[in-house]
Structure 1
Amino acid sequence: MNIDWAALGTVFGVSLVATVALVGLFTLGIAGLARQPEPAERGGQAGGSMVLARAGAYVCFGLCAAAVAYGIYLIVA
């Protein structure tokens, strides 16, 4: 049995980078959804920044779903 160590290392590296990227995107999405408006007595303004944070979170979740769908496509095809 002959193991191609270079190919194994490449697969390991790509898997590690993809995993860290997906976990990072998902974490950004959770952080965007968890953001709470700052109270008005502390000078906070509800509105624009909350909408932007929520939209960014949905974009992050969408990218995660796209990456998972692409991985499933690669496995099936």
Structure 2
Amino acid sequence: MSPKHTRGRRPRIVFVEPAETQVRVLTTAQAVRLDDALNLLAAAPDEVKPHATASALRDYQHDGVRVIFYATALGSILIVTYVEVD
């Protein structure tokens, strides 16, 4: 499949174990804010700035939500490594 055929698809979001643990302790309100942030990330993951210590990682921070993630080579999966919601 050519890249132009995959542009409209949103990537699948996968959490590694530490991020899963962080998500499990969020309140309902925090989880809703995280979901909103993940929807934005899925729409345009390449627009998020690289993490300061590793260029493959992306560091999204907005409105008290922080998500550190990286995307697979074709952008079909976002792998979340860290989650923080104030």
Short-chain TM bin:
0.3 to 0.5
Which entry has the higher C-alpha Rg, 1 or 2? 1
TM-score of the aligned structures, taking structure 1 as reference length = 0.32
Structure with greater proportional helix content: 1
Structure with greater proportional strand content: 2
TM-score of the aligned structures, taking structure 2 as reference length = 0.30
